Structure 1
C-alpha cells in the first residue's frame, strides 16, 4: 500500500464563520445550513477554496484528505424531511469535492464519531449496542455504494461533540469497554473488506469509561485489537501519550503489535498560538520519526493543519489570512516524512518563502523561537515529569491552555508541589523572554516577516509575569498583571483571554500536596489507590460534577469541550 500522507480539509467550511471564539474540532454544520439546505455563499465559496487547498497540499506530497463527516452523507427514511433535504445538498457538494481531490490524486477519508445520533433513529436502536452496530454497518455499506471515491472512514470513539456544538446530529461516547470496540470492529470490518476501503480507528480519548486509556495502555490496546487481523484496519495514534504537546516521548503503542498504524501530528499548534506566531516543530518531529523507525507497519501520517481546539484566531491555512508558520510546519512534516533532513527542510522553506533572508539569520531566528516556546509556554521541570490522573496522561502545560492564560493561587500551590527549583524556573522564563526580544530584532534586521511578533511579545510578557507571580520572583507581579491585562486587551482584538483570580486561597499547601500525591501517579501502571478511589469512587461523583460544572474548575471548561465531568466517568 502506498504510504498515506493525510491532511485535514475542513478549512474551506469556515470562511463565513463569524463567531468570536471558534470550535475548530469539526465543520460547523449548523452555521452553513438553512432550514432545508445549504447557504448560497457556502455553496459558492467551498469548491473554489477546496480546489486551492488541494492544489497547495498535493504539491507538497500529501495524497489523502479528511472531511467531516459520515452522518451528513447517509440518508435515512426516519429522518425528518428538512434533514433529508440537507443531506441531499451535502451529498451533491461532497461529490464535487471528492472529484476535485481525485483529479489531484488525493484519496478522501470521511470522519465520524462512534456514535452519532439523530433523535428520530433512537427508537430503532433502543439503546442496544448490537442494534446500533448493525444500523451503522448498513449506513457504511450504503455510503460506500453511493460514493466510490471514498477511500475509507476515520472513527473517533473517545471524544464526542463539545457542549457548544449545535446541529441535527449529536455524538456520544458509545464505546465503554475494550470489548465494545472489538465487537464493533468485528461487525464493521467485513463491510470495509468487501468494498476494499480502510477503517482508521483513532485511539485518542479524554479518559472516560474503562476504555478511556486506550491511547496509552498496552493491556487495553490488546483487549481491543489483539485478535483482529484485517488488512482493512489501520490504528491511528497521536505521537505521544497525551495531546499535541511538547516534551512527550513517542507513544510506546507503536511497538505494541503488527497492526497497520498511522501517526498523528498537528501543524497548526492549538496549544502554541494557533499559528499566530512561530512555533516550529521540525526538530521535535524529526526525532519522533527517527524513534519510530523500529516500529512495524507504520503506513502513514495524518497532519492537522486546521483542526483542533477553541480559539479566536481566524486564519484559514492556505486560504484566507493563512499563517506562514502553519504552512512551514505543514511543509516540514511532509518533507521529514519523505526522508528529508530538518536543515534541508528549513532551506527549502527559506528558498521558497524568504529567499532574501540570510541562512544563518533564519536559523538563529528559529533556534531562539524554539527556546521561547519550550521555556515560556512550558515550565520545563514540570513538563519533564510523567503524571497520570485516572486514565489520562496529564498535559505538560498547566497555566496556558489553548488561548487562555490562567493566573490563580491554586495553580500557584500546585506548581509549588511539582516545581522544586524556583530559581531555575524564573531564570528560564526570563531568558526565554530575552530570546523573544532578540528574535524580533533578528527578524527586523534580516527581512523575516514580523507579523504576529508584537502580539507574541505582549502575550509572552504576561506569561512571563505570571511565572514571576507563581515562583515569587516579583512581589509586585499581581498588580503588574492587572495593568498588563488592560493594556493588552486594548491593543489586540484577537487576544489571549487572561483569567486572573488573585487573593488568598483556601487550599493550603500541605493538604494539597497530600491530595495530589493521592490523586496523581508518576507511572502509567495503576496503583491500588487508583482502582479504589480515583477510578471507582470518583466515578460515583461524576453526576455531581455535571450538576455543579459551572463551579468546578475554569469557567470555560463548562462551556467548551465535553464538560469537566467527563474526566470522572
Structure 2
C-alpha cells in the first residue's frame, strides 16, 4: 500500500483513548424508544440558540470529566451532515450550513477540554438527489468520498480523524434527509475503499478509524470474526493513518464471548471497542458491572501487537427507552462507574478493586467494600439470570453471524414465550442448575438492599432490579420446571403488577414484558433437525452452508418476505435494520 505521508504526526500511532459524547443531543427528544446509534439530526435541526448552548455546556462537562479520567479523544456524529457538496439538494445544504456552524462550537468545547475530535461516518450515506446525480455522472462512491473527505478535512482542521462504519446501516426507524446503505459487500470492496481513501488522510495527517463491526450482510458480513475475510480485507495495507477498531468479541456487546482473535492477526494499529452503557443489560438502570470482564480482556490484549487504546461507548447504542446519560445525570452512577473503571484498566492496568475504591472516594459514596460486594452479587445476577448460562456458553453460528448468547432479553424487551421455552430446552441439558441459579440470584437481590444503604448508592435501583429479575426468575420456572402449577397465570399477574408500578408518567424508561404462551407446534425431534441444519458450532463454514445456507436460503427468505410476511415476527422485521439483513 501507500507508505505513510511525512506529514503524519507522531501522535497518529500513539495512545488513542476515545469516548463517545452524543448524549446532550437527545435532550428534549420525546420518544418512548430512542435510537441511540446516532444524533437525531432532524431533532437537532429544529432547536434554537438556548438548546445549542445547553449542548455545549454539557459537552464541556463531559469533556472535562473524561479528560481528567484519562481519555484523550472524543467521537461525534457525523460526516454526512457536516460535509457540504454541490450535488446535495439546496434545502439540505442550507440545513448543513447551520449544523456546521453549531458543531464548530461543539468541537471547540471538546478540543479545549483536551479531547481530539473524531467524527463518525457510514459508508454510504446519501440523499435521494445525490444518489441520482452519482448515477447520472457515473461516479463511484469511492471517487465521491475522496472529494468529499478531502474538502471536509480542509474545512475542519480541528477534526483529528474519521470513524468509518461499513457493516451496518441506518435502522428502519430513521427518516432523515440522508439514508445510509451498505455498499461495501466483499473484502475486495473494503480493501479498494481503504486504498483509495487512505491517501486523503495521509495528505491531511489525520486518522481513518476503520470499524470491523458487521451484522452479517454480504460476504463482508463475517469480517469481525472470520480470519480469512479479515486477512483479505487488510492484505497489503500499511498506512500509519489507519487504525482498525474491533469490538471485544465476535458478536455485539454481550458477555460470555472470548476475546476476538483478530487482535492477534495484524500488526496494524488497533483499538478495542468496549461498552460501559450496556445496551442489552439495562443501560445503567441497575448495576451491570463490566470491571472483571474487561480486566480479563485487557490482560489478554497485552499479548497482541500494536493495540494503541480503546473506544468506550458510554452513551451510544441500542433501541431502548432508558435515558440515563453518563457524566451528565446523577442517576447514571453505574455507567459512570463502568467508564471510570474501564479507563483505569486500559491506561494504568489498575486492579478492579482499587479502581472501585477510587471511584467511591471521588464520588463521596459510602463504604467501598460494601460497594464491591454489591457489584460481585449483581455481576452474578446478570451473568446467571439475565443470561441463561449454559446456553450463553455455547458457540453457535448462523450464516455469517455468531448467535448472541442472550435469548430472553433484547434491548428494552423481556420475552417469555413457548417458542423460547422449546429452544432453551433443546440447548440446556442441566435444567436443575438453571433453576438453582435463578433462586440463588433472587437471594442475592434481597441481600443487596442493605448493602446499597451501606455503600451510599440508590436503593431504588436495586428494588427495580429485584422487580425486573423476579420476572426473569418466573420465566426460568416456565422454561425448565416440570409440572409447575399456574405458572402462566403467575407470570401474567407479575407482568400486570410490573406494568402498573413502572409504566406511570415519568417512569417510561422501563422494560416491556412480552408474553406468548401459544404452543409452538413443532416436534422436538424436528426442531433438533432444523437447528442442526441451520446452525453450526464451528466458525468455519460447512458444505451445507456454502451450498444452501449462504445462497439458497436468501432466496427462500425473500420469497417468504414477499408472499408470507406475517410469518416473520414484527419485532424482528421492524427493529434496527430488520432481520432481513442477515439473509443478504
User: TM-score range, shorter-chain basis?
Assistant: over 0.9
Offset at residue 55 of structure 1 (A): 1.2
Match of 2:506 in 1: none
CA contact (8 A) 2:89 2:130 kept: no
> Which residue does the alignment assign to 1:499?
514
In 2, Cα distance between equivalents of 1:462 and 1:433: 11
1:26 corresponding residue in structure 2: 38
Note the alpha carbon deviations across 1:72-121, whole angstroms, 9 max, x for none: 11112222222111111111111111111221221010001110011111
Report what 2:492 is aligned to: 482
Contact 1:13 1:46 in 2 (8 A): yes
Residue deviations 1:279-324 (CA, integer Å, cap 9, x gap): 1100110100101111001111000001011111121222245410
The answer on whether the counterparts of 1:10 and 1:68 sit within 8 Å (CA) in structure 2 is: yes
Query: Residue 407 of structure 1 corresponds to which residue in structure 2?
Result: 416
1:125 to 114, 118, 134: 134
Instruction: Indicate the residue corresponding to 1:353 in structure 2.
Output: 363
Unmatched runs of 5 consecutive residues or more in structure 2:
1-12, 504-508
Q: Is the 8 A contact 2:365 2:455 kept in 1?
A: no
Q: Which deviations, in whole Å up to 9, do the C-alpha atoms of 1:185-213 show, x marking residues without a partner?
A: 11100000000111111011110101100
The answer to whether the 8 Å contact 1:113/1:155 transfers is yes
Distance in 2 separating the partners of 1:548 and 1:4: 50
Kindly indicate whether the alpha-carbon contact (under 8 Å) linking 1:549 and 1:564 is maintained by their aligned counterparts in 2.
Answer: no
Q: Which moved more, 1:76-85 or 1:175-184?
A: 76-85
Match of 1:6 in 2: 18
- C-alpha separation in 2, matches of 1:268 and 1:129: 43
Structure 1 range deviating more: 375-384 or 548-557: 548-557
Q: Secondary structure at the match of 2:550?
A: helix
Secondary structure at the counterpart of residue 262 of structure 1:
strand
Give deviations 1:378-429, integer Å, cap 9, x for gaps: 1111111100000001110001111211111111111111100100111111
- Cα distance in 1 for partners of 2:26, 2:58 equals 10
Distance 1:546 1:170, change over 3 A: farther
Over the aligned positions, Cα root-mean-square deviation in angstroms equals 1.6
Corresponding position: 1:55 with 2:67: no
Correspondence list, 1:381-400, <5 A: 381-400=390-409
SS at match of 2:552: helix
CA distance in 1, matches of 2:73, 2:246: 17
Matched residue, 2:5: none
Secondary structure at 1:5's aligned position in 2?
A: strand
Are 1:342 and 2:355 counterparts? no
Alignment of 1:335-484 (within 5 A): 335-338=344-347, 339-357=349-367, 359-472=368-481, 474-484=484-494
Shift in Å at residue 495 of structure 1?
Answer: 2.1
Shift of 1:558: 2.4
Distance 1:432 1:524 in 2: 33
Query: Which residue in 2 is equivalent to 1:564?
Result: 579
Cα contact 2:24–2:55 (8 A) shared by 1: yes
Alignment match, 2:29: 17
Q: How many residue pairs align between the two structures? A: 565
Residues in 1 aligned to 2:357 and 2:315: alpha-carbon distance in whole angstroms: 24
The answer to whether the 8 A contact 2:419-2:519 is kept is: no
1:413-470 residue CA offsets vs partner (Å, 9 max, x unmatched): 1111110010011111111111111112321355332132221111110011011101
Mapped contact 1:71–1:112 kept (Cα < 8 A):
yes
Matched, 1:328 2:349: no
- Give ranges in structure 1 of 5+ residues lacking alignment: none
Residue pair 1:154, 1:200 contacting (<8 A) in 2 also: yes
Aligned residues of 1:240 and 1:250 also touching (Cα < 8 A)? yes
Aligned to 1:314: 323
Deviation string 1:542-566 (CA, Å, 9 cap, x unpaired) is 4335447863454222222001111
- What is the aligned counterpart of 1:285 among 294, 298, 302? 294
Is the 1:181–1:224 contact (alpha carbons within 8 Å) kept by the matching residues of 2? yes
Counterpart CA distance in 1 for 2:542 and 2:168 is: 25
Partner of 1:537: 552
Kindly indicate whether the alpha-carbon contact (under 8 Å) linking 1:410 and 1:507 is maintained by their aligned counterparts in 2.
no
TM-score scaled by length of structure 1: 0.96
Shift of the 559–132 alpha-carbon distance from structure 1 to 2, 3 Å rule, reads same
Residue 245 of structure 1 aligns with which residue?
254
Shift of 1:355: 4.0
Of 65, 70, 75, 1:66 maps to 75
TM-score of the superposition, structure 2-length normalised?
0.94
- SS at the partner of 1:452? helix
Q: In the alignment, is the contact (CA less than 8 A) between 2:87 and 2:133 conserved in 1?
A: no
Kept in 2, the 8 Å contact 1:63–1:105? The answer is yes
Cα separation, 1, equivalents of 2:160 and 2:136: 30
